[in-house]
Amino acid sequence: MTSDKRLIVDLLKQADIHVNGVNPWDPQVHDERFYRRVLNALNLGMGEAYMDGWWDCAQLDVFFYRVLYARLEQQIKLNPRMWLKFLPAFLFNLQHGRRAYHIGTHHYDTGNDLFEVMLDRWLTYTCGYWKNAATLDEAQEAKLDLICKKIGLKPGQTVLDIGCGWGSFSQFAAERYGASVVGITVSKQQLELGRKRCQGLPVELRMQSYTELDGQFDHIVSLGMFEHVGYKNHRTYFEVANRLLKEDGLFLLHTIGSTHSVRATDPWINTYIFPNSMLPSVAQIGKAVEGLFVVEDLHNFGADYDKTLMAWHHNISTGWKHLKGTYSKRFYRMWEYFLLSCAGSFRARNNQLWQIVLSKRGVPGGYVSLR
């Protein structure tokens, strides 16, 4: 056994993971180069090796849950060459100006057929709320309804939806609450399908960056978009929201969050899934809103993202027969690795999901939290 293999094998044993073992979470290694690739590039190397078929795992979500809950990644030193992967995030503003549209082209324009198979009937690409839900459709509808209730949405009010996706919230708020909604996205395919889904409703969807917005709105929501803003732009983002929100309005921010402050994302996620993304921490959000907003409520239901991701993976797995003519097997393995590794991360509570309600001057008499 090589020293590289011995190191990986011994490390995984600490989480009761056994290479080529009999448990469904045990990795089955098909190529001995796997071990050196992981040590050289950590999750980037591990993810690429999975995409290339060098290893498999029957329960990839459980594998990652065990690895992350045991904090095994803290025992491997980062190869100095890997710092080059993080360097651009420190040197440049990767989410500013036209760069803000890159995530739309790279990820959200992958194909509407893919997302229609994977997502719920509202096409909601954010965490569902599973408190009283048994299905993905129920969880996503409960989440959309909870958001409307948290901002106190009333018929005839105007809402800005920053990062509207395929218009799920915009459509829901218009149909169920009688609101007028402006939604913005940086994805051409989202915009095209979203406009079709919202046809006949008081909804205007635009291809636009948040920095290009004008007007005044009774409320603002932003669901699963803040992860693409970047720490260098956090303050600008909240300054724009403050300028657009009416004095007595509420702003609900729905975002994945990190338990510690970072300035870049995981190299595999950055390379293959969400380029130039970055998960914010509570400290970073708090600093960015200081003097602009009062934090009225913070609701963490990150454990629900585990269920959501597993439901998305189930839909992709069972619906692959409709997609395999368009997408490659390597793409499927990439998407599988993405969904199941993230499920394991949320299960280990490494990642969080926050809904934060913000007001400009504080709600008179106090805000009543809803769950």
What is the Cα–Cα distance from 294 to 355, expressed in whole angstroms? 14
Paired tokens of 109:
């324009």
Domain boundaries, the chain: 3-77, 94-320+348-359
How many residues comprise the chain? 371
The pLDDT of residue 77: 65
272 phi, psi to nearest 5 deg: -110, -20
Residue with tokens 């993202």: 305
**Neighbouring residues of 144: CB distance < 8 A, sequence distance ≥ 6:** 122, 124, 168, 169, 172, 173
164 catalytic residue (yes or no): no
Confidence of residue 262 (pLDDT cuts 50, 70, 90): confident
Sheet holding 294-300, edge to edge: 203-207, 180-185, 158-162, 217-223, 245-258, 351-359, 294-300
What percent of the chain stands above pLDDT 70?
Answer: 93
Task: Check whether 80 has a pLDDT greater than 90.
Answer: no
The pLDDT of residue 102: 65
The pLDDT of residue 74: 78
CA 242 to mean position of chain CA atoms? 24
- Average pLDDT of the chain, as a whole number: 92
- CATH superfamily ID and name for 94-320+348-359: Vaccinia Virus protein VP39 (3.40.50.150)
The pLDDT of residue 82: 43
Choose the catalytic residue: 57, 127, 198, 342. 342
The pLDDT of residue 134: 98
Task: Check whether 99 has a pLDDT greater than 70.
Answer: no
Q: What is the pLDDT of residues 114-128, one digit of tens each?
A: 999 999 999 999 999
The pLDDT of residue 89: 45
Task: Check whether 94 has a pLDDT greater than 80.
Answer: no
Task: Check whether 86 has a pLDDT greater than 60.
Answer: no
Task: Check whether 192 has a pLDDT greater than 50.
Answer: yes
- Over residues 202-217, the mean pLDDT reads 96
The pLDDT of residue 184: 97
What is the Cα–Cα distance from 204 to 61, expressed in whole angstroms? 39
What is the Cα–Cα distance from 55 to 28, expressed in whole angstroms? 5
Paired tokens of 174:
């218009």
